[in-house]
Amino acid sequence: MNHQIILRVIAKMFIPFILLFALYVQFHGDFGPGGGFQAGVIFAAAFVLYGLVFGVAAARRIAPTRVLQACAALGVLLYCGTGVAGILLGGTFLDYGVLDSHDPVHGQHLGILLVELGVGTTVAAVMISTFLCFAGRKPS
């Protein structure tokens, strides 16, 4: 689609806003609709748009397979790590109340933020790599 100048310009204009919106959905999930899963998918949608307009090779350059694989695993690790941190601080697995020794509600906020970040990282990485896997294959 390299010759589609309108598509290229519009996509370039939109991608920063899509990424920004994904981050908004990610970190505003406590207050409004949304959360890690939705944010991850929107974040991935920006890469999908980039891949569709500028080609899979260009998309792979900004999102190398190894980085995506590491991010997919890191997200789950962050989630589990938050749970294990709860155990180490004297609570139970995935009990965020103990993450802040003074205020359990603040601990809950911190736990939800970390856990949602883990979900978002995994979802975004898996969605992008799935798209690249499908789009990167040559038609047989």
Partner 1 sequence: MIELLDLSLLLFLAVVAVAVARFRNLFAVVIVMGFYSLVSAALFTVLDAVDVAFTEAAVGAGISTVIMLGTLLLTTSKEKPQPFRIVPLVVVLATGGMLIFATFDMPAYGDPDAPIHQHVAPRYIHESAQEIGVPNLVTAVLASYRGYDTLGETTVILTAGIGVLLMLGHARRSENAGGDADGDGEDA
Report residue 94: phi and psi, to 5°.
65, 25
62 near partner 1, judged by CB under 8 A:
no
User: Of 11 and 118, which CB lies nearer to partner 1 in the complex structure?
Assistant: 118
Burial class of residue 17 in the structure, from the number of CB atoms within 10 Å of its CB (0-12 exposed, 13-18 middle, 19+ buried): exposed
User: Of 8 and 100, which CB lies nearer to partner 1 in the complex structure?
Assistant: 100
99 near partner 1, judged by CB under 8 A:
no
SS3 for 60? helix
Task: Give the H or E element holding residue 20.
Answer: helix 5-27
Residue of 7, 24, 37, 110 that binds partner 1 (CB under 8 A): 37
Compute the half-sphere exposure of residue 42: CA atoms within 13 Å on the CB side of its CA.
19
Tell me which residues touch partner 1 (CB under 8 A): 25, 29-38, 41-42, 44-45, 48, 52, 56-57, 60-61, 64-66, 69, 72-73, 75-76, 79-80, 83, 94, 96, 104-106, 108-109, 111-112, 115-116, 118-119, 122-123, 125-127, 129-140
